[in-house]
Amino acid sequence: MSTQNALLTILVEKINNDTLVLPTLPAIALKVRKAADDPNINLNSMAEVVGQDPSLSARMVKIANSAYLGRAIKVASTSQAVTRIGLSQVKNIATALAMEQLFVSKNEIVKAYMDKKWVKMIDVVAHAMAAMTHFQKTTKDNSLSVDTMTLSALVADIGALPVLTEAERHDSVFANPTFLDVAIDKLSGRIGGSIMRKWKFNEIFIEVAEHWRELDYTSSSVGYIDFIRVGAALSGNIDEKDEVLASAQKRGLFKDVQEYHSDEFVALTDAAKGIFA
């Protein structure tokens, strides 16, 4: 049995036996989510929680000043940022900004692969955020939230992490990145769903993690999965680009694909990438 097939067998067995080691949510994200779930929390208290992590604080200020909130007056403090973003959005945004902490490894080969994976994810997220913002602007449909979509896009491929962690024990596997991509494609949905349940995320995130790669899986109305797929297509991170965009057009995400090549759309995408820089 080849190393690749052996690894695939190990992964499947661990998934079936529920023995695969799943990642834990970053500590600061746990603190923010716990605070956000407190019915008595106020903006000042939330700002204090966010302020415990300087990096998160800086990024919160950046997103508060981003094109997505569309305010001319800039904020300069964590308290002002949390006030502008709002308690209901801080929970998802803080979690999304903390996700990068999971993509770490002491193994140089694994680290390089994880770094590459993170860059690809941000590319998907940025295009998905821009696609949703464009959709909301043109249709006036605000039933979906950008912060939920952002976090959904970031956890869409979270199931790849345990695959990479397990592969870390088999250095030779990384000499064949195609195999890893295939393994992630086959298994990340099941694993991702398990991670979302472990983290006690709601059904929105579970559905995304489990089904976004299944192109025949659709809902009656436009949902987060639609924008994630468009983000993957526009960033070149899905093979079925034409199929995805054709489906998105039929579902009303845009009228003409050229809309995704406008200066405004490119600016929105760049602004989204900048949030995670």
In a domain, 215, yes or no: yes
| Lowest mean pLDDT across 96-110, 171-185, 200-214 | 171-185
Report pLDDT digits (tens) over 221-262: 999 999 999 999 999 999 999 999 999 999 999 999 999 999
In a domain, 43, yes or no: no
In this prediction, residue 10 carries a pLDDT of: 84
CATH number of 231's domain: 1.10.3210.10
In a domain, 133, yes or no: yes
Q: Which domain holds residue 268?
A: 3-23+103-275
Closest-CA residue to 272 (of 78, 133, 76): 133
Position 68, amino acid: Y
257: buried, middle or exposed (CB in 10 Å: 19+, 13-18, 0-12)? middle
In this prediction, residue 9 carries a pLDDT of: 83
In a domain, 197, yes or no: yes
In this prediction, residue 73 carries a pLDDT of: 83
Confidence grade of residue 106 (pLDDT, cut at 50, 70, 90): confident
In a domain, 69, yes or no: no
Total domains in the fold of the chain: 1
> From its phi and psi, is residue 45 left (phi > 0), alpha (psi between -120 and 50) or beta?
alpha
In a domain, 40, yes or no: no
CA torsion sign for 101, 177, 150, 198 is negative
Q: Work out the mean pLDDT of the chain and round it to a whole number.
A: 90
In this prediction, residue 2 carries a pLDDT of: 65
pLDDT cut 90: percent of the chain above it = 68
Report pLDDT digits (tens) over 7-46: 778 888 888 888 888 999 999 999 999 999 999 999 999 9
